[in-house]
Amino acid sequence: MAGVERLEEATEEERFRLLINAVTDYAIYMLDTNGVVVSWNPGAERFKGYTAEDIIGQHFSRFYTEEDRATGLPERALWMADKKGRFEAEGWRVRKDGTRFWAHVIVDPIRNTSGKLLGYAKITRDLSEHKQTQEALRQSEERFRLLVQGVTDYAIYMLDRDGYVTNWNSGAERIKGYAPDEIIGQHFSRFYTEEDRAAGLPAHGLATAAREGRFEREGWRVRKDGTRFWAHVIIDAIRDDNGELVGFAKITRDVTERREAQKALEKAREAFFQAQKMEAIGKLTGGVAHDFNNLLAAILGSLDLARKRLPADSDVLRFIDNAIMAAERGATLTQRMLAFARRQELKLEAVDLSALVHGMADLLQRTLGSNITVEARFPLMLARVLTDPMQLELALLNLAVNARDAMPGGGRITISAREGQLPADGGESQDGRFVCLAVADEGEGMDEQTLAQAIEPFFTTKGIGKGTGLGLPMVHGLAEQCGGRLVLKSRKGEGTTAELWLPVAKVETSADPEDASAAGQVPRGGRALTVLAVDDDNLVLAYTAALLQDLGHQVLEATSAKEALGILERNAVDLVITDYLMPETKGTELLTEVQKNWPGTLVMIATGYAELQPNEAPGVPRLHKPFRQEQLAKAIDDAMAHRPATAQVLKFGSR
């Protein structure tokens, strides 16, 4: 065969041998009927390691592992080839050096023309690299499967082109409640709400993913047990190598807790902004009310003096009386503003609500009109509450007027009280005992938006000129200052109930009989005094001095604490009436200097609202602006009547 120079000159047998010897990727060799190797090609030598001299005459079972030889696999392969005409398998085989490789094996029987078995043709291919690739792919797929199945926070599953579930991970089972055998083969639209299904959202999601490659949205989804959860959903289109759509990958995450946390955060943020707004309005309102009180004080004082100087039959008196009434209404308005701003000075004491309400019965009936019926419902035993009785009367009157205005055709107002636990307001309920004073009407009621705005300052549903929008804010401010709360309950068409929650008084106080008798024994309106009036507002200073002079007192005037101290050094003064908030030196600092250097001199501090802290001159009564002449006279008389034998500094009011 070595002399063959052209294939066409070779015999058929020579061409066959040339073909076999040219193949190096396959081991092609022959076995006799007993399995002994009788031929060997270069391909067999290349990946099995044996030369022809090494292996011809040896049994082919040496290529098998010990485990396979022990099970009789070589003999079984020859038997199957003989009986079935072919044996084909894959498995581990062993090289000459003892290393293993993964082989694809085919054994065919060789027979003569009469059908007698002459031996076997064996073809072996080294598939080690292919095996490694397949194993790597299998391991990768297994890791991916384990990864997907191990994810429990996400529902990860596939849909076919029509939206039917084709697989199901453990996260999907945990979140949605379906086991794989319950849901695979079912349409994914069952996870949607009836409203979303009616709107065609499932089909829209698949169509969007098919068209754009991706669909993402949040919304309500339904579990197996019918409960809803807020889901973040992503649908991705899956396409083959040719770009044909074969299905969809769907990832769903339960974000209900995140949504609730976000809503809670937004609610807290809104409450914070509302608190900031209320604080800003409160500061503005308090400042305006203070300045307005100073103006009203000057107006009322001047009108009082003017009225005293006119003859009793003067036609001008009715105009002055009207002006005084208007100024007093302005003072009431500033009191509401200060109550809202929580800068009014409260005189807290133990109050019997039943007695207070019954004592106001005639006033309420006259104020509300004949078409309103007032019904009081109080338990036989009710704890006293800690509040300012005068401010509470004003608050109750405000609530009753609001209830009347909600029933233009008339109706019934029910005032009741009960002891209970203060309801939570976005947080934990406050500890301690509380009494709820409720005013309920049968009126029009409020919708949710109106109810939410009801206690905002200057908000009113009444016509122009019929309401200031400060009634409920005043009640709210009073409740907060007392340590309680105003709670409004209302529905459109079902009336409104205003609940004023007030703390139960721990120690019920009463006036000391000895003090009262002592005060009654001291005559009032005694000798004329030398009074030093101190105020940085010239208008207020002028009317204060005029009121004092009209009362018969000698008046010295100062516009600052420094000027006042200079006057005290040069003059004997019985009483100092000072403003609280002045440039450079406050009224309390002036009080300290007077107490230190002139211990026999009395001091009053008059103010428009309560800026003094509780620890500033505690236990001393205060005089509030705007005050009229009789109030000023009474304050002076009380100060003189309670003056102890030893020198004492008294303070009236705070700014």
Q: Do both 445 and 547 map to the same domain?
A: no
CATH code of the domain covering residue 36: 3.30.450.20
Dihedral sign for Cα 379, 384, 389, 394, please. Answer: negative
Q: Give the mean pLDDT of 318-339.
A: 70
Q: Do both 53 and 172 map to the same domain?
A: no
Q: Do both 105 and 247 map to the same domain?
A: no
Alpha helices in 310-388 (DSSP H): 316-341, 353-359, 361-368
56 found inside a domain: yes
Query: Backbone phi, then psi, for 436, in 5-degree steps?
Result: -100, 115
- Give 419's strand partners: 435
Q: Do both 238 and 122 map to the same domain?
A: no
Q: What is the pLDDT of residues 365-380, one digit of tens each?
A: 878 888 888 888 888 8
**Does residue 345 or residue 228 have the better pLDDT?**
228
Of 471, 503, 535, which one is at a domain's C-terminal end?
Answer: 503
Q: Are 369 and 387 in contact (CB under 8 A)?
A: no
- Token readout for 531 is 């009074």
Q: Do both 435 and 365 map to the same domain?
A: yes
For residues 598 and 601, what is the distance between their CA atoms, to the nearest angstrom? 6
Helices 629-641, 256-309: crossing angle, 10 deg rounding: 90
Residue type, 559: T
Q: Do both 534 and 622 map to the same domain?
A: yes
Q: What is the pLDDT of residues 77-122, one digit of tens each?
A: 999 999 999 999 999 999 999 999 999 999 999 999 898 999 998 9
Residue 113: Cβ-neighbour burial (10 angstroms; 0-12, 13-18, 19+): exposed
Of 338, 366, 391, which one is at a domain's C-terminal end?
Answer: 338
Q: Give the mean pLDDT of 381-394.
A: 86
What's the domain count of the chain? Answer: 5
**Does residue 174 or residue 8 have the better pLDDT?**
174
pLDDT of residue 32: 93
Q: Do both 104 and 161 map to the same domain?
A: no
Q: Do both 581 and 602 map to the same domain?
A: yes
- Token readout for 580 is 């609280």
Q: What is the pLDDT of residues 213-262, one digit of tens each?
A: 999 999 999 999 999 999 999 999 999 888 899 999 898 999 888 888 88
515 found inside a domain: no
Query: Backbone phi, then psi, for 149, in 5-degree steps?
Result: -70, -30
Mean pLDDT score across all residues of the chain: 79
- Token readout for 52 is 């022809």
CA 293 to chain centre: 40
Structural domain of 412: 349-503
Residue 511's CB is within 10 A of a number of other CB atoms, namely: 9
List the 228-239 sheet strands across, edge first. Answer: 154-159, 245-254, 228-239, 214-222
pLDDT of residue 440: 92
388 found inside a domain: yes
For residues 300 and 298, what is the distance between their CA atoms, to the nearest angstrom? 6
Burial 278-298 (b: 16+ CB within 10 A, else e): beebbeebbeebbebbbbbbb
Q: Do both 602 and 628 map to the same domain?
A: yes
For residues 574 and 591, what is the distance between their CA atoms, to the nearest angstrom? 13
**Does residue 14 or residue 381 have the better pLDDT?**
381
484 found inside a domain: yes
- Token readout for 165 is 């579930």
CATH code of the domain covering residue 416: 3.30.565.10
Give yes or no for residue 162 having a pLDDT over 90. yes
139 found inside a domain: no
DSSP 190: G
Q: In this prediction, what percent of the chain has a pLDDT beyond 90?
A: 28
CATH code of the domain covering residue 281: 1.10.287.130
